[in-house]
Structure 1
Amino acid sequence: MASNTGGVKPMTITGRMVRERERLLGMTAEERAWRAQWLKDQELAPNEPRHVPEYWKERLNPIRRFYRAPLDLVEKALKPVVGTNWAFAVRFWTGKIALSAFAIYATAYYFKYNQNDWTRKGGWRVIHSRKAVFPGDEGYPNYPQRQSPADYAARGFKQSPI
């Protein structure tokens, strides 16, 4: 099993003062100064976070860079207009919506053109329920009239135009 710390025992840089109860118990002047410095160190400089293009080029393999390129161009064009965060959000959600729409269309296409009928072994067998009919409604009782055993499991053979 791989270690997240490279075999070195992990340690926290926050110390015991990370918990509010510990701070409320009382802090020495040295701990108070250390805590103030630690909080100050958590603030980012005005030029952070830095974007290093070489890092992102090395991080993403060529295939991933290829399929990310169209939305990266959209994000790059939107950054000056709406800002970095909104440009990233538009890029992120555009990709998710496009993939979801593709999945929905692909599923609908598959179910429409690859139904399981008498002409093939494979495909999904889609079974439609009968419409609910109550006493007093037209067509009551609503059950199929089968004349012979060949009517069962016909899978559309009798409705075939052949």
Structure 2
Amino acid sequence: MVQAFMANVIFPTKQEDEQYKYTDDSHLLILETYVGVSVEVLESDVFRSDTPCRFKIVPSAKINIEKKNNKYRIFCFFSETVQYLIDNIDRTLQQSIEIEEKLSIDLIENLSEIKEDILQRLQHLKNVPNRLENPNIYHLDVGAMYPNIILTNRLQPSAIVDSTICAQCDLNRPNA
């Protein structure tokens, strides 16, 4: 790049990762990775918002979030994370409202009520580890069913395809 600069060759600037990444609907992404052929499953089941689920929160559970190139590494305990959210509720709400939802915080009429509700819920989450609640997600965990079927039955497509293979294909139709 130095030699290109000295020779007045135009080249793009070094690409830098964004500080935060968001989904298409403006929700913050903490970790954006996929480990091929390996699906990590805590519990295989169907979780529905209308079916109560019993679970236990372990306050000493370690939350471990890493990203390649040491962009961010977070090692903390659940109870510390909840306490951090309680201590930084104003900053967290501002981040959520202004950056994720792209609204002015001044437009929220009942901000103090929302803040109190969140604080009560966080405190309850911290103080009551044995929970019976309806999950807020719908989730069907198939336990890596599809990758396993593909791998065990060797259903992966051939890497090298020539015209004789294409001619035999069921999907090969004129003007396709």
The two structures share one fold, judged by TM-score above 0.5: no
Structure with the higher helix share, 1 or 2: 1
Q: Higher relative CO (CA 8 A, sep ≥ 6), structure 1 or 2?
A: 2
Task: Please give the TM-score of this superposition, normalised by the length of structure 1.
Answer: 0.22
Max Rg structure: 1
Task: Please give the TM-score of this superposition, normalised by the length of structure 2.
Answer: 0.21
